[in-house]
Amino acid sequence: MKKTVTTLADGRELIYYDSADDTVRDAVDPRPLDAVSTSSEIRRDPLLGDSVAIASHRQGRTYHPPADECPLCPSREGRHSEIPDTGYDVVVFENRFPSLAGDSGRCEVVCFTSDHDVSFAGLTEEQAGLVLEAWTDRTADLAELPQVAQVFCFENRGAEIGVTLGHPHGQIYGYPFVTPRTEQMFRSMDSHRAETGRNLFDDVVARELADGERVVLEGEHWVAFVPYAAHWPYEVHLHPRRRVPDLRELDEAARTEFPQIYLELLRRFDRIFGPGEPPTPYISAWHQAPFRAPGREEFALHLELFTIRRTPGKLKFLAGSESGMNVFINDVPPEAAAQRLREVASE
């Protein structure tokens, strides 16, 4: 893998990750961009104790790419996108309009491929492996920034969940604090340790494997299951069998097997609702240990993949109970979801 770090016209960082070690990336961004000015502000909710990022810097945009021109496709003669070169394998750059910036963290965009019309599920194993390298390398680089406490790599896929750019891409957030979900997992982990003397994640994975009813897919180094108390209609948790706190600690064997397992999961997701249905909207979310949290070695890196679609044409909305009270109502029993996800395995 070859990594090339460069800067865009407004000073944002852009990083190419190429499969071929002899790739040269020296294109310069010729666009007349003003320097990025961001003023995102973190406000703490006194009742809930959680944080809200108030991003008020969206005015002042000076560069509007025409709607029919994708800013994530490579540049070509007379048509300059966010990526100066005329081709790329995987590329990461700082978001021009970030929700978190400066002392308040960092937001990056990851383009999974230069091919506008493919989805992640349509990538080759080599391409998916390169994306994993990019996620891992970004986690390592962001770990060095004092303002970043936790790194979140994720993909939103589908117009139903508000994705406006069709180009296959994901995002990386470097939060300046430990997120509420992660804090909650740490609390559960600590009380489980106090009560049983064991690691919570190890016990959860062991229980799913022993039960078997909700297991979706098993590899030599990874296991995927629908959790016992799934919140979403179709939700899968993917764990490496050897527990590690973050992407940097995955061993070579797990890295090598990951593309095969993850691509199969994504392809099954697209088949859940049968042929003729539009691609399944999904959120794919990497959970990693915060960098400086006590007990981080106990945390289990894992990926949570879920869709908000319940049945063809019907979405799960976060309505009164979910949005008002944080109580999820799930109409699809986790065992039925797991069975469906086994039925639609690739042949």
80, 167, 169, 287: the catalytic one is: 169
Q: What are phi and psi of 150, to 5 degrees?
A: -155, 140
Q: Is 169 a catalytic residue?
A: yes
To Zn ion, the closest distance from the beta carbon of 111 in angstroms equals 8
CB 234 within 8 A of CB 341: yes
To Zn ion, the closest distance from the beta carbon of 29 in angstroms equals 17
Q: Is 212 left (phi over 0), alpha (psi -120 to 50) or beta?
A: left
Two tokens at 189?
């982990």
Stretch that binds Zn ion, among 65-73, 197-205, 241-249, 337-345 (CB under 5 A): 65-73
Number of residues that bind Zn ion (CB under 5 A): 5
Cα 149 from Cα 334, distance rounded (Å)? 33
Instruction: Note whether 238 binds Zn ion by CB under 5 A.
Output: no
Contacts (Cβ under 8 Å, ≥6 apart) of 66: none
To Zn ion, the closest distance from the beta carbon of 7 in angstroms equals 22
Instruction: Note whether 300 binds Zn ion by CB under 5 A.
Output: no
Cα 233 from Cα 1, distance rounded (Å)? 38
Instruction: Note whether 148 binds Zn ion by CB under 5 A.
Output: no
Q: Which residues, 69 to 108, sit near Zn ion by CB under 5 A? A: 70, 72-73
Identify which of residues 170 and 240 has a Cβ nearer to Zn ion in the complex.
170
Q: What are phi and psi of 210, to 5 degrees?
A: -70, -40
| Interface residue with Zn ion, options 3, 57, 96, 116 (CB under 5 A) | 116
As a 3-state breakdown, the chain gives helix, strand, coil percent values, each rounded to 5, of 30, 25, 50
Instruction: Note whether 169 binds Zn ion by CB under 5 A.
Output: no
To Zn ion, the closest distance from the beta carbon of 163 in angstroms equals 13
Active site residues: 169
Question: Can you give the binding site for Zn ion, defined by CB under 5 A?
Answer: 70, 72-73, 116, 167
